[in-house]
Amino acid sequence: MADGLDADAYDSLVTAAETYRAALVVRLGGEAGLRTGEITRVAPRHLRETEGDADVSLLAVPADGAGPNEGSESGAGGDTKAETAARDREAVARETAIPASLAAELRRYAESADLGETEPFVDVSPRRVQMIVSETAERAAARTDGLVDPDVTPRDLRRTFARRLLVDRGVDPHAVREAGGWETMGTLDGYLGPLDGEAIAEAVADGRAGPAGGSAGGSAPTALGGFEALADGDDRSTPLAAVPEGVVESDRWAEAWVVRGTGNRERVEIAGAAGADRGTLVDRGVTGDGPWIDAVEEGEPIATEGLPATAGRPGVAVPLRYRDVTHGALCVVTGGDPPLPPVSPVERREIAALGRCLGWAVTARRWRDLLHSDTVTEVEFHTGDEGAFLARASAALGCRIELASTVAVDDEASRFYLSVEGARPQALADAVAGASGVSDLRVIETRENGCDVSARVEGGSAVRTLTEHGATVRDATAEDGRVRVVADLPEGADVRPVADGFRSAFSDARLASKESVPRSPRSEDSLREGVTDRFTDRQWAALSAAYHGGYFDWPRGSTAEEVADAMDVSSPTFHNHLRKAQRRLLDELFEDGRRARRPDQR
């Protein structure tokens, strides 16, 4: 049995789809596990939400010969609604689980194409489905230098479905067999590699453990209350306080707390706790050195078993991390009667995922507070650290460099758009050559005594460090070997963790000023506020990169291909995101925020 496509090849295949419908064809095969004929039969009425996991939806797969229109109208032919529902159930071969993102795309497509509940999403013949997959594969192969096999078929997409669930996610083979409609488990054997004795023992132990043993069995969620606390949070409690309270709702966890740094490597402070009061935790030594500090510094979950601070119970500490910024650590300790089982690998992954979500929530809350506040805390940082390449370049050339904008290329890199006075492009390129993490310098415009350029910057930077702490950078300049960065934080925000994070990236950094100021009128612009939340991250990145790259100038400072290359995406992908962003912008201007469907959009 073939392996199917790996994640990169599959993403490239989806990206290569020329039409919305073609992308759905590929995704229905690769993410729903549908056969060729089944792709042509599913309709909006076959979609439904699950009762538990919001990240997964269910798609009913009509049996062969039971087309989407068969028995679809309530009361048709004299049938009662109950009779129609019963007949619909009999016509369904199985249900398969699909990502919530695919379900959302299917519903969006149904709305844009004005489909009825019984009209198929892909109203073509099975032969045409095969041709769509083949054409998309050939296009992807040409664009990726062979990463994608040009001979990919719908059957390969079903194998990709099996691979994603069995190999990448470790889903129970029984569930995969039922979701994909395979008759025997033997069909999936090619994905189930051999297990050594330790792996078998762990699997048996996880399967044996349950509520009676005080463990989650390695499969049932034990920190669901923590995730729900994030989803249901309100303005009365911070995520750092709400999540520990949600975690201890489970019988598995008796205590949970969040710690964050104080600027002293061996001391932390308690930001939220449940199951034990703060005084008790302080007496146990939680505010001192411990695995929670290691979790912050190493960025990995750390076992806390047997420590006095955890009352000798098994537990784990995980970092609260968003990209390059760690806001603290979440610690959980098991409950129940001895002997207590250790934290299982599945539980460790679950708590680690909760830590990542909490790290993102802290940053998002700061952004939200910043967006809605009438006043902000303006902070100004200075650094001359050699790691700040702008400081290095301005010192070497005696020039002034101003940051016009940054665009995130991926989780590890951003593209900086710079305006330079007092230096030509080649001199700037020579000055930053060899700077750690700086590459791909591109000229946008050359002036008599300056230039506009862009550069790819990987890893930490003064701007990115502040942004990922929830700040909005308003001004960044470099002159005479010193970088000055001015940023806004929500009024009343704790500046200390932001300053600590900045100093950890640039050792000589100092907080030059901090003051409360009225919000800038520019940030209150109604058009900007009404539009930015309608963009996806990629659409906003494409629009920003095009604007600051001179794509909209005449004559153009950069072509579409040059902007796409600078963003590390293909030209069609850039055009796709840019056109959608432009459409949303124009919708807001001409439709007053209301999207109207024209006949040519259906």
Let me know whether 102 and 19 are in one domain: yes
pLDDT for res 80: 47
252/338 same-domain check: yes
Task: Give the contacts of 170 (CB within 8 A, at least 6 positions apart).
Answer: none
In the predicted model, is pLDDT for residue 209 greater than 60?
A: no
Higher pLDDT, 260 or 298: 260
pLDDT of residue 122: 92
Confidence check: pLDDT of 208 > 50? no
d(CA 125, CA 319): 51
Q: Is residue 206 part of a domain?
A: no
Give me the phi and psi of 512, to 5 degrees please: -80, -35
Final residue of a structural domain among 140, 171, 190: 190
Q: Do 361 and 235 lie in a common domain? A: yes
Bridge partners of 487, per DSSP, are 379, 473
Q: Which of 179, 501, 56 is nearest to 320 (CA)?
A: 501
Give the CATH number of the domain where residue 35 resides: 1.10.443.10
Burial class (CB in 10 A: 0-12, 13-18, 19+), 454: buried
Which runs of consecutive H residues, i.e. helices, occur in 329-387?
Answer: 345-372
Which residues, including other chains, have CB under 8 Å from residue 140's CB and lie 6 or more apart?
A: 9, 12, 13, 15, 16, 147, 148, 150, 152
Q: Alpha-carbon distance 538 to 531, whole Å?
A: 14
Quick one: pLDDT at residue 194? 67
Whether residue 376 contacts residue 488, with contact meaning beta carbons closer than 8 Å, is answered with: yes
Coil vs helix vs strand at 239: helix
Q: Retrieve residue 406's tokens.
A: 């940054």
Beta-carbon neighbour count of residue 209 at 10 Å?
A: 18
CA distance between the termini of the chain: 40
Same domain, 387 and 366: no
- 297 has pLDDT over 60: yes
User: Comparing 56-70, 78-92, 113-127, which segment has the lowest mean pLDDT?
Assistant: 78-92
Mean pLDDT, rounded, for 121-130: 91
CB 46 within 8 A of CB 40: no
Rg for the chain, CA atoms, rounded: 27
Mean pLDDT of 116-131: 91
Band of residue 309 on the pLDDT scale cut at 50, 70, 90 = confident
Asked if residue 564 and residue 422 are part of one domain, the reply reads no
Reading the block at residue 120, the tokens are: 């198929």
Residue 170 lies in a domain: yes
Residue 357 domain flag: yes
* CATH number of the structural domain spanning residue 228: 3.30.450.40
Q: Compute the distance between CA of residue 325 and CA of residue 468 in angstroms, rounded to an integer.
A: 6
pLDDT, residue 504, reads: 74
What pLDDT does residue 87 have? 44
Q: What percent of the chain has pLDDT over 90?
A: 18
**Alpha-carbon span 380 to 495, nearest angstrom:** 11
How many CA atoms lie within 13 Å of 317's alpha carbon, on the beta-carbon side?
25
The answer to whether 394 and 400 are in contact (CB under 8 A) is: yes
- Tell me how far apart the alpha carbons of residues 377 and 496 are, in angstroms, rounded to a whole number: 13
pLDDT score recorded for residue 56? 86
Weakest-pLDDT range from 147-156, 333-342, 573-582: 333-342
Residue 114 lies in a domain: yes
- pLDDT band for 580, please (50, 70, 90 cuts): confident
Q: What is the mean pLDDT of residues 209-213?
A: 39
The position carrying tokens 């229905």 is 28
Q: How does pLDDT run across 516-542, given as a tens digit for each residue? A: 887 655 444 455 555 666 788 888 889
Q: What is the pLDDT of residue 529?
A: 57
Residue linked to tokens 């992908």: 573
Task: Give the pLDDT score at 304.
Answer: 84
Looking at the 3D structure of the chain, how many domains does it have? 4
Question: Do 469 and 591 share a domain, yes or no?
Answer: no
| Residue at 204 is within a domain | no
Q: Which of 9, 1, 8, 47 is nearest to 28 (CA)?
A: 47
Domain assignment of residue 60, given as a range: 7-190
- Whether 218 is covered by a domain: the verdict is no
Per-residue b or e along 26-60, where b marks 16 or more CB atoms closer than 10 Å to that residue's CB: bbbbbbbbbbbebbbbbbbbbbeeeeeeeeebbbb
Mode of pairing for the β-strands spanning 450-458 and 315-322: unpaired
**Token output for 212:** 């009676």
Q: What pLDDT, in 10s, does the model give residues 345-364? A: 788 888 888 888 888 888 77
Of 203-207, 334-338, 464-468, 479-483, the range with the lowest mean pLDDT is 203-207
Question: Mapping DSSP to helix (H, G, I), strand (E, B) and coil, where does residue 173 land?
Answer: helix
Write down the pLDDT at residue 537: 80
Same domain, 104 and 242: no
In a domain, 208, yes or no: no
- The pLDDT confidence band at residue 451, using thresholds 50, 70 and 90, is very high
Whether residue 382 sits in one domain with residue 238: no
Q: Is 309 in the same domain as 364? A: yes
Residue 549: what pLDDT? 87
User: Does residue 333 sit in helix, strand or coil?
Assistant: strand
pLDDT tens column, 165-196: 888 777 888 888 888 988 777 677 777 766 66
User: Is residue 129 in a domain?
Assistant: yes
For residues 37 and 186, state if they share a domain: yes
For range 287-311, the mean pLDDT: 81
pLDDT band, residue 419 (cuts 50/70/90): very high
Query: With 60 as the cut, is the pLDDT of residue 344 above it?
Result: yes
Average pLDDT for the chain: 79
pLDDT band per the 50, 70, 90 thresholds, residue 264:
low
Residue from 133, 561, 25, 579 nearest 141 by CA: 133
Residue 216 β-bridge partners: none
Contact status, residue 42 vs residue 121, Cβ threshold 8 Å = yes
* 281 or 433: which leads in pLDDT: 281
CA–CA dist 138, 58 (Å, integer): 31
Mean pLDDT across 237-243 = 80
Provide the b/e sequence for 390-406 (b: ≥16 CB within 10 Å).
bbbbbbebebbbbbebb
Provide the token pair at 134. Answer: 């083949």
CB 72 within 8 A of CB 45: yes
| Amino acid at the residue 129 | V
Q: How far apart are CA 249 and CA 240, in angstroms?
A: 16
Residue 562 belongs to a domain with what CATH number? 1.10.10
The confidence score (pLDDT) of residue 18 equals 84
> Is 50 in the same domain as 135?
yes
Residues 90, 156: one domain? Answer: yes
